[in-house]
Amino acid sequence: MPRRATPLTAAKVRTAAPGRYADGDGLYLLVRDNGTAFWLFRYVRDGKMREAGLGRARGPNSVALADARAAAAPLHRLVRNGVDPLAQRETEKLAAAAAAQAEKARAITFRTVAGYYIDAHEAGWRNAKHAAQWRATLETYAYPHVGDLPVGAVGTAEVLAALEPIWKEKPETASRVRGRIEAILDYAKTRQWRAGENPAAWRGHLDNLLPARTKVAKVKHHAALPWKEIADFMEAVGRHRREGSPVRYSDGCQDERGSRR
């Protein structure tokens, strides 16, 4: 589009009557009937006239003539190179939105996602006790290790840090905690808050690092002292403290520390 021989001036911008005024290279001043004025970049794409707004030309926060020309110049070059400025602006807008979403995903924590998961599923669970168990086990065993981490940053090392201390001591609880972590991470992936494989998955992953729950030896606790024998036992303990001698119960089932065999 050829440049006019008489481009706009700052005075013309301030005083122009309602109408459309060309400055050259696609830059136009549009003055409406109420006196408001705007800068436009006009160009033809696929046989159709298109317009891109460049801001106010009068009033508060208005764009000066020189700045409007500076904003229109790169758009004019895009058109000359076969690029649609409005289409590119939309592409950049979508890219910025995607970047903002990615930044949000990087900031959201495992604890937050766990709350979303529980809120989304507890209506379908058997009872309120089940939801309470979810919250309690996560609070006790998972959150100290992964709770405040971005959900996208939770990896195998973090999952193992939560599971290994209880895998042999509390295999049933540990298995449930693992399954709950896996479900929460799957939920986060579906919501596009993380990517990649699930580090809490058992088959083909953690089964290479931890023994199966069914093969973990259960902890065997000493038998409880029958309640009828408590009085005699406490008397023996008292005598031991007074005399400084080993605790020996009459049936011979106490060791020197006073624990039943």
Q: Quick one: 252 and 236 in the same domain?
A: yes
Is residue 115 in a domain? yes
Asked if residue 116 and residue 177 are part of one domain, the reply reads: yes
Confidence of residue 256 (pLDDT cuts 50, 70, 90): very low
The amino acid at 171: P
Looking at the predicted structure, is the pLDDT value of residue 259 above 70? Answer: no
Amino acid identity of residue 13, one-letter, is: V
Same domain, 200 and 258: no
Q: Could you say which of 63, 81, 101 is where a domain stops?
A: 101
pTM: 0.53
Instruction: For residues 135 and 211, state if they share a domain.
Output: yes
Question: Using H for helix, E for strand and C for coil, what is the string for the chain?
Answer: CCCCCCCCCHHHHHHCCCEEEEEECCEEEEECCCCCEEEEEEEEECCEEEEEEEEECCCCCCCCHHHHHHHHHHHHHHHHCCCCHHHHHHHHHHHHHHHHHHHHHHHCEHHHHHHHHHHHHHHHCCCHHHHHHHHHHHHHHHHHHHHCCEHHHCCHHHHHHHHHHHHCCCHHHHHHHHHHHHHHHHHHHHCCCCCCCCCCCCCCCHHHCCCCHHHCCCCCCCCCCCHHHHHHHHHHHHHHHHHCCCCCCCCCCECCCCCEC
pLDDT value, residue 217:
56
* pLDDT value of position 198: 97
Q: In this structure, is residue 1 part of a structural domain?
A: no
Structural tokens at position 71: 């904003």
- Residue 250: is its pLDDT beyond 70? no
Average of per-residue pLDDT across 98-106: 79
Q: How many domains does the chain have?
A: 3
How big is the chain, counted in residues?
261
Whether 96 and 169 share a structural domain? no
Same domain, 199 and 133: yes
128: containing domain:
110-215
Predicted confidence band at 261 (pLDDT cuts at 50, 70, 90)?
A: very low
Residue 23 lies in a domain: yes
> Considering the domain boundaries, does residue 46 fall inside one?
yes
Give the C-alpha separation, 72 to 27, whole Å.
Answer: 6
Q: CA-CA distance, 190 to 183, in Å (whole number)? A: 11
* Pair of tokens at residue 161: 């840090």
Q: Could you report the per-residue pLDDT of 166-208, keeping only the tens digit for each?
A: 999 999 999 999 999 999 999 999 998 998 999 999 999 999 9
The dihedral of CA 174, 175, 176, 177: what is its sign?
A: positive
- In degrees, rounded to 5, the angle at the alpha carbon of residue 192 between the alpha carbons of residues 187 and 194 is 80
43: which strand partners?
50
d(CA 42, CA 22): 10
The total of other beta-carbon atoms located within 10 Å of residue 250's CB is 10
Same domain, 120 and 206: yes
Check whether residue 24 and residue 40 sit in a common domain. yes
Q: Would you tell me the crossing angle of helices 110-121 and 171-190 to the nearest 10 degrees?
A: 90
Percent of the chain past pLDDT 70, that is, above it, reads 85
- Looking at the structure, tell me whether residues 118 and 202 fall in a common domain: yes
Sheet holding 37-45, edge to edge: 19-24, 27-31, 37-45, 48-56
